[in-house]
A = this chain, B = another copy of it.
Amino acid sequence: MNVVVQDIERADADVVAALGECGVATVHEAQGRTGLLATYLRPIYAGARMAASAITISLPPADNWMVHVAIEQVRPGDALVLAPTSPSDAGYFGDLLAVSMRARGGVGLVSDGGVRDVRDLTEMGFPVWSRAIGAQGTVKETLGSVNVPVVCAGELIEPGDVVVADDDGVCVVRRAEAGEVLEKARARIAKEEETRRRLASGELGLDVYGMRGRLEEKGLEYV
């Protein structure tokens, strides 16, 4: 029942990186306003930014044994996605694990639980998005699984999915859709540039987006 899936597919590294440059809000919109994890996930420092392939971990509350197991599966460009089987704010991950991640090429962590040693992680520039910051120690007693589908902060994440994260939160992109989403995200950015220019010059969104007719139709009254 407890498994470690060893050979997972990942999206193209360039596509992953490019999604990261687009940012969470744009990527989320580009894929039809889907994939956003719950807003209670917050970065441990301002300016944290990441795009990575997900190594998923299903594990018990306050037991981080599977994190050690998962790190062996990490390839350069991967991030851990940690989903406790019941809510927990324990400190599943700290600076030693980050050192180990770094040594394997791992780039970050999304934790639907706690994280600790945040000063060290911040100094290392190792980005983490978590439900809580908490130092509560964990045990290594109960198995979980690595690289199985998990629900993390309200979203389904499958191993190898792309996790995009920045100050706005975390968004998941299905592995197979990464290329298509990237295209749409880039199209959106291009279009926004023009909109930004017009808004900056003082034009109103009401006019740029042509909203006045529909507002009137719906019955909005100016008094």
A residues bordering B, Cβ < 8 Å? 1-6, 23-25, 28-29, 32-34, 36, 38-39, 42, 45-47, 60-62, 65, 68-69, 71-72, 85-91, 94-97, 99-100, 102-104, 114, 116-119, 122, 132-137, 139-143, 149, 151, 154-156, 166-169, 171, 192, 195-196, 199-202, 204-206, 209, 211, 215, 218-223
For this chain, the copies found in one complex come to 6
Give the Cβ gap from A98 to chain B, nearest Cβ, in Å. Answer: 9
Given A71-B205, A91-B25, A116 and B2 contact (CB-CB distance below 8 Å): no
**Pairwise interchain contact B134-A168, C-beta atoms closer than 8 A:** yes
**Pairwise interchain contact B220-A134, C-beta atoms closer than 8 A:** no
**Pairwise interchain contact A117-B221, C-beta atoms closer than 8 A:** no
**Pairwise interchain contact B168-A133, C-beta atoms closer than 8 A:** yes
B6, B134, B205, B222: the one contacting A100 at CB < 8 Å is: B205
Given A61-B62, A168-B91, A132 and B204 contact (CB-CB distance below 8 Å): no
Tell me which residues across on chain B come within 8 A of A34, comparing CB atoms: 85
Give the Cβ gap from A181 to chain B, nearest Cβ, in Å. Answer: 13
**Pairwise interchain contact A33-B137, C-beta atoms closer than 8 A:** yes
A-B contact pairs, 28 of them (CB 8 A): A1-B32, A2-B219, A3-B220, A25-B94, A25-B116, A25-B137, A33-B136, A34-B85, A36-B135, A39-B89, A39-B133, A39-B136, A42-B133, A61-B86, A61-B90, A62-B88, A68-B204, A68-B211, A86-B89, A87-B87, A88-B88, A119-B166, A122-B167, A133-B168, A141-B141, A143-B218, A149-B156, A151-B151
